[in-house]
Amino acid sequence: MPSGQPSGAENEDHDLVRRSQSGDTRAFDELVTKYRTRIHAMTYQMVRNEQDAWDLAQDGFFKAWKSLSKFRFQSAFYTWLYRIVTNVAIDWLRKKQVRSEGEFDETIGNLSIEPTADVTPKGEVSPERQMERGELRERLDAAIAKLSPDHRQVILLKEIEGLQYHEIADVVGCSIGTVMSRLFYARKKLQSMLRDLHENV
Amino acid sequence: MKTFESSYNEWLDGHMNEAESSAFERELTDTHGLDPAAERRRHGIARTALLDLVENTPLPHPDFFNSRLLERIHADLAASAPAPQGAEPVTASWFQSILVRLALGGAMAMFLGVMSYRALIAPALAPRPETEYLAQVLDASSPESSVSAVPIYYKDEKSTVLWLDGMEHLPDSYATNEQRDDGDAGQ
């Protein structure tokens, strides 16, 4: 899911953006349909609440619509879009002053879970594998929830969106040194929380 | 001087050249007691699981998501659209309707006031015409049986004449103005 996109898809997006800029709401609707799930998933992982994530994704798309005239076609539309949505989510987090209920909980690392190497979809999977995958998602979901919002933002922007360090610093509004520190600790915490998986792979 | 955290991230994300990478891996093993291969594997598993998790986070009510968003966009477009030429702004027409209502109310109040004045106050203030006290003799009689009294009313003259038929002279007790004047003069 990194931000790199085939140029064909990018061109298609840019064409839809041009039509949207001229007031074609149906063209913008196509862009929304294309990216709504991805944007919502990102906001959900940041705020950890389904309803808030839904509303923030709405606000992000609406803000993007209002700012379409500022899009200069120098980057992929999605890159531009998720920066807007990320900023909306970060502003929301700042306003709510969300505090992590607790950082890393060592007990999570000891929960029994069947380790699996094939966590990525590879064609047909058996019901057992699907169940394992579901458990793994629940496990990781809980682990991400244990990260602080600051750590969560940074690791999502790096691992999911594939941003460069300086881009993350720009979006989050901190120094590259802070990004490096947060990213390191977020990675180590996730690794620790999934320790038993690592040991069994 | 790079911090350990910075170097670790750059090593994991492949931002180091071969020499730097080898040097850092030695540092990981010798100084921190970490296995570079295990570190990469842990990172790979966590990243893959993270991607899988995000990809499988469903969007609730996806169709409503679009319709709600378009609703907001259309409302915003309608709010920011300039008023068509010739049409009064909403505030102006609102103000105008208030003025019309005030004018109608004022006219109605004035009409009621005039009518009340004319019906109740004006008649009381108007000068009343002089009352004509017309005397009309309805019946007349005479103590003398030889004299008959007949009152005759002349409408045009607005006067009544008492016609005494059969009376030869005025009674003594009846003094005319001339006799009184004469008597007064003689005294």
ipTM confidence:
0.71
- C-alpha B120/C-alpha A13 separation (Å) is 83
Model confidence, pTM: 0.57
Of residues B6, B52, B69, nearest to A119 (C-beta): B52
CB contact under 8 A, B65 and A198: no
Contacts 24+ apart (CB under 8 A), B127-136: B132/B158, B134/B158, B135/B160, B136/B160
CB contact under 8 A, B48 and A180: no
CB contact under 8 A, B65 and A54: yes
AA identity, residue B163: W
Q: Identify the DSSP state of A170.
A: H
Distances in Å between the Cα of B4 and the Cα atoms of B19, B86, B148 are: 17, 70, 156
Q: What is the pLDDT of residue B59?
A: 93
CB contact under 8 A, B55 and A41: yes
Smallest CA–CA separation between A69 and chain B, in Å? 14
A vs B, Cβ pairs < 8 A, gives 129
Buried b (16+ CB within 10 A) or exposed e, A10-23: bebbeebbebbeee
Q: What is the pLDDT of residue B25?
A: 94
Query: Is A166 a residue whose pLDDT tops 80?
Result: yes
Residue that wins the pLDDT comparison between B158 and B3: B3
Of residues B6, B53, B73, nearest to A180 (C-beta): B6
B159's CB contacts (< 8 A; 6+ apart) are: B153
Mean pLDDT, all residues of chain B: 81
Q: Please enumerate residues of B whose Cβ is less than 8 A from a Cβ of A.
A: 3-6, 8-9, 12-13, 38, 41-43, 45-62, 65-66, 68-70, 72-74, 76-77
A66 touches chain B (CB under 8 A): yes
- C-alpha A141/C-alpha B50 separation (Å) is 8
Place of tokens 């057992």: A128
Strand partners, A39: none
Query: Is B14 a residue whose pLDDT tops 80?
Result: yes
- C-alpha A16/C-alpha A19 separation (Å) is 5
Once rounded to an integer, what is the mean pLDDT over residues A170-183? 91
Once rounded to an integer, what is the mean pLDDT over residues A112-129? 42
Residue closest to B4 by CA, chosen among A156, A187, A149, A160: A187
A50 touches chain B (CB under 8 A): yes
Q: Identify the DSSP state of A68.
A: G
Distances in Å between the Cα of B115 and the Cα atoms of B68, B104, B106, B109, B122 are: 59, 17, 14, 10, 10
In terms of phi and psi (left: phi > 0; alpha: psi -120 to 50; beta: otherwise), the region of B159 is: beta
Q: Please, what's the largest Cα pairwise distance for chain A?
A: 56
Residue closest to B40 by CA, chosen among A117, A194, A191, A152: A191
Q: Which residues of A touch B73 (CB under 8 A)?
A: 25, 28, 62, 65
Q: What is the pLDDT of residue A118?
A: 34
Q: What is the pLDDT of residue B90?
A: 55
Once rounded to an integer, what is the mean pLDDT over residues B146-160? 79
Q: Which residues of A touch B14 (CB under 8 A)?
A: none
Q: Which three-class secondary structure state does DSSP give residue B153?
A: strand
Q: pLDDT grade, residue B182 (50/70/90)?
A: low
Q: Tell which of A84, A180, A194, A196 to mutate to test the B interface (max B CBs under 10 Å).
A: A180
- Most confident range (mean pLDDT) of A42-46, A127-131, B85-89, B91-95 is A42-46
Query: Is A2 a residue whose pLDDT tops 70?
Result: no
Once rounded to an integer, what is the mean pLDDT over residues A45-66? 94
Q: Are A153 and A68 in contact (CB under 8 A)?
A: no
CB contact under 8 A, A140 and B73: no
Q: What percent of chain A has pLDDT over 90?
A: 38
CB contact under 8 A, B57 and A41: yes
Query: Is B186 a residue whose pLDDT tops 60?
Result: no
Q: Identify the DSSP state of A71.
A: -
Query: Is A114 a residue whose pLDDT tops 80?
Result: no
Q: Are B73 and A160 in contact (CB under 8 A)?
A: no
A145 touches chain B (CB under 8 A): no
Which tokens in the block code for residue A64?
């993007």
* Ranges of H-type helices in chain A: 7-21, 25-47, 50-66, 77-96, 106-109, 127-146, 149-155, 165-172, 176-193, 195-200
